[in-house]
Amino acid sequence: MLRFTLERLVGMAITMALVSVMVFLIMELPPGDYADRYAFRKYSGTGVNVTEADIQAIRVDLGLDKPLVFRYFDWIGGIVLHGDFGQAFAFETSVLKVIGNKVWLTLGILFSTLLVTYMVSIPIGIYAAVRRASVADYGLTVFSYLGLALPNFLLALILLYFANKWFDADIGGLFSSEYKDAAWSIAKGWDLFKHLWLPAFVLAWSAVAYQLQTVRATMSDEINKLSVTAARARGVPEVKLLIKYPARLAINPVVSTIGFDVNRIFSELPIVAVVLGLTELGELLLRAYLDLDMYVAGAILLLLTFMIVFMNFISDLLLAWLDPRIKLGTS
């Protein structure tokens, strides 16, 4: 197990190193560089006449005149050695300060979404496989098509509309207005909890559709195995039998795709966040892109990818623990 863990850790480090190169290249893509935008942002409308020499001075000051490779190592070195993600010029402070507590909100949304996904898809998927051709089974098929076809930002809009129409409630955002700027307290935490269900539901939408299919398919395969028939012949009670044999195995593909689910959730997060008015990383990422605040954007993209890679790692470990065959196969 130790060897297995170490191997996965090294793999994770290599992937992240390559990802960081890609993220850095994306940060460098927009025309003009940070110094141009910084000068424009700072002096436009102030009447100060900015010359090319001034911009060059800013460039030298920030180390932007160095070749690409050096700038990459400055950037990644700052992150790895000092936890310094650079400057967010739209906010005139460090990226770390801007991102800071939004990381926790994003993690909150992520884990509540994952919770909803598995709480719904595993039991219903198992049920649909046991009762083939039942209402639940057909409902599942229809739903899994809808889960793909109805993009969740549209779902979010529809839900907002009906909540507004029927309950006259403003259900968007992450906090009620009275808690928005308040310090963290139990009341604020409870308020957050009350607002989390909607983004969790919306984001879980397509993940549930996908996982339902997976669980149902594996469960259907497993349920016809001889071991199940043998257990049934021994007189093992039906529910216990389902949990002990097929359900245990039906969970494996779900565990092995946790990383994919996290990926899908983060992929959809920025757009859902805009519609629902969630003030977390996804929304900030979109805003940073629109402002071309590339240090913020790069940091968020890197962080989101890191979370995905990390969840992949966790899922590998969980899977090795659940299914010993995998561990043996690699070493």
Partner 1 sequence: MTTVTNGDLNNGNDQPLSAEQKRLLKYYSASQWTLIWWRFRRHRTAMIAAALLVVMALFGVFAEFVAPYGPTSRNTQYLDGSPQLPSFCDDNGCSLRPFIYGVTTKRDPVTLRAISVPDPNKRVYVELLIEGEKTDLLGFIPTNIHLFGLQDPKAKLHLWGTDDLGRDVFSRTIYATRTSLSIGVMGVFISFVLALIIGGTAGYFGGRTDMVIQRITEVIRVVPIIPLYMGLAAAMPKEWSTTQIYFAMTLILGLFGWPTLARRIRSQLLSIRNEDYVVAARLAGARPSRIIGQHMLPSFTSFIIVDLVISFPYMILSETALSFVGLGLRPPTVSWGVLLQQAQSIRVIEQTPWLFIPAVFVVIAVLAFTVIGDGLRDAADPYAEAK
Report if residue 117 touches partner 1, rule: CB under 8 A. no
Decide the pairing of beta strands 93-94 and 87-88: antiparallel
CA–CA distance, 300 with 191 (Å, rounded to integer):
26
Contact of 202 with 155, CB cutoff 8 Å: yes
Beta carbon of residue 185, minimum distance to partner 1 (angstroms, whole number): 29
* Among candidate residues 141, 111, 112, the one with its CA nearest the CA of residue 125: 141
Contact of 202 with 156, CB cutoff 8 Å: yes
β-bridge mates for residue 87, sequence order: 94
Q: Which two tokens stand for residue 82?
A: 């000092």
Q: Which two tokens stand for residue 292?
A: 């071309």
* Among candidate residues 111, 61, 98, the one with its CA nearest the CA of residue 298: 98
Beta carbon of residue 183, minimum distance to partner 1 (angstroms, whole number): 30
Nearer to partner 1, 136 or 150 (CB): 150
Nearer to partner 1, 113 or 263 (CB): 263
Report if residue 276 touches partner 1, rule: CB under 8 A. no
* Among candidate residues 24, 31, 96, the one with its CA nearest the CA of residue 67: 24
Beta carbon of residue 169, minimum distance to partner 1 (angstroms, whole number): 11
Report if residue 316 touches partner 1, rule: CB under 8 A. no
Within residues 139-178, the interface with partner 1 by CB under 8 A covers 145, 148-151, 153-154, 157, 160-161, 164-165
Report if residue 256 touches partner 1, rule: CB under 8 A. no
* Cβ-based neighbours of 232, under 8 Å, separated by 6 or more: 238, 241
**What percent of the chain is helix, strand and coil (3-state, nearest 5)?**
80, 0, 20
Beta carbon of residue 289, minimum distance to partner 1 (angstroms, whole number): 4
Contact of 213 with 221, CB cutoff 8 Å: no
Size of the site for partner 1 (CB under 8 A): 48
Nearer to partner 1, 165 or 234 (CB): 165
Tell which one of 98, 174, 251, 309 touches partner 1 (CB under 8 A).
309
Tell which one of 140, 174, 285, 299 touches partner 1 (CB under 8 A).
285
Tell which one of 99, 122, 251, 275 touches partner 1 (CB under 8 A).
275
Report if residue 111 touches partner 1, rule: CB under 8 A. no
Looking at 12-20, 38-46, 70-78, 113-121, which segment touches partner 1 (CB under 8 A)? Answer: 12-20
CA–CA distance, 239 with 275 (Å, rounded to integer):
42
Nearer to partner 1, 71 or 246 (CB): 71
Measure the CA angle with vertex 185, ends 183 and 189; round to 5°.
110
CA–CA distance, 43 with 37 (Å, rounded to integer):
10
Beta carbon of residue 315, minimum distance to partner 1 (angstroms, whole number): 12
Residue with token string 């929304």 = 283
Within residues 31-50, the interface with partner 1 by CB under 8 A covers 31
Looking at 77-85, 119-127, 245-253, 283-291, which segment touches partner 1 (CB under 8 A)? Answer: 283-291
For binding to partner 1 (CB under 8 A), which residues are involved? 14-15, 18-19, 22-23, 26-27, 29-31, 145, 148-151, 153-154, 157, 160-161, 164-165, 259, 263-264, 266-271, 274-275, 282, 285-286, 289-290, 292, 297, 300-301, 304-305, 308-309, 312
